[in-house]
Structure 1
Amino acid sequence: MEKQPIKSHEDLEVYQMAFDSAMTIFELSKKFPVEERYSLTDQIRRSSRSVCANLAEAWRKRRYEAAFIAKLNDSESEAAETQTWIKFAVKCNYLDVEIGREIYATYNRILGILVTIINNPSPWLIKR
């Protein structure tokens, strides 16, 4: 089976993983207590969505290596922040331990891909 060419950020495996994870977090966070609405719930939703948003921005900045890497770094930071919120949600018993582990592991894979691209951005850059 031949791989399809990447035409947009939405074709990137890392984007798809991040988007699906953000949607999973959204659904799971609906069950968080009301008193967490303006803290943990908002924070975990915001950071998980921001991974995707920064990837979209990075994709559009591929003409400029420094800007591309900066946006990928932002995405990496947001993924790590999301992992922190996942740990809080598990420790506060808002999230099942096994589900928390699965989502955390997915963010480890997302982080791994991001770091790989950051360390070798050349293949992704638009040549002028």
Structure 2
Amino acid sequence: MKSHQDLTVYQESIDLVVITYQITKNFPPEEKFGITSQIRRSAVSIPSNIAEGAARQSKKDFSRFLYISLGSLAELETQLEISVRLEYLKKDNLLNEELIYIRRMLLKLIKNLKE
């Protein structure tokens, strides 16, 4: 592998961060340090952990960071659902397809690292 930047899952997760920032920019101002911040940090954590893991010297370490990315993805999914229930976000903006796609890519990469 040349670089984490060559990984499709990394590129897709960066795109997810951009979309996440776009959909949260109209959240209520009082949520700036609340759910808005939580959502953005969860989203940023996904590609950040992919990059950090890829920089490690072992497949085991890389895999561990990919699992952390999966955890951040689950957090993001939960926070988006909370945002829908709080009526900050419309249900069609839940990013379900993107989240599922990235989850599948992460799981496939983890599986490939174990082989």
User: What TM-score do you get using the length of structure 1 for normalisation?
Assistant: 0.83
Q: CA deviation at 1:11?
A: 1.9
- Residue 119 of structure 1 pairs with residue 111 of structure 2: yes
Higher Rg: 1
CA distance in 2, matches of 1:51, 1:11: 15
Q: For 1:69 and 1:7, locate their aligned partners in 2 and report how far apart those are by CA, in whole Å.
A: 17
Are 2:68 and 1:74 equivalent residues in the alignment?
A: yes
Matches within 5 A, 1:93-104: 93-100=87-94, 103-104=95-96
- Is 1:65 matched up with 2:83? no
* Cα deviations by residue, 1:26-69 (Å, 9 ceiling, x for unpaired): 111110001111110000000000001000011111x3122111
Give the alignment partner of residue 49 of structure 2, picking from 54, 73, 87.
54
Structure 1 consecutive aligned stretches of length 4 or more whose deviation exceeds 2 Å: none
TM-score (norm 2): 0.91
AA aligned opposite 1:83: E
Gaps of 5+ in 1: 1-5, 124-128
- Deviation string 1:66-120 (CA, Å, 9 cap, x unpaired) is 21111111111101111111111111111121121xx122111111111122123
Superposition RMSD on alpha carbons, in Å? Answer: 1.4
Matched, 1:108 2:100: yes
Q: Hey, what's the Cα distance between the residues in 1 that align with 2:64 and 2:102?
A: 16
**Distance (Å, rounded) in 2 between the aligned partners of 1:8 and 1:91:** 39
- Alignment match, 1:12: 7
| CA distance in structure 2 between the partners assigned to 1:42 and 1:25 by the alignment | 11
Alignment map for 1:28-43 (pairs within 5 Å): 28-43=23-38
* Pairing 1:21–2:16 present: yes
Amino acid at match of 1:72: L
Q: Secondary structure at the match of 2:32?
A: helix
- Give distance in 2, aligned partners of 1:83 and 1:105: 11
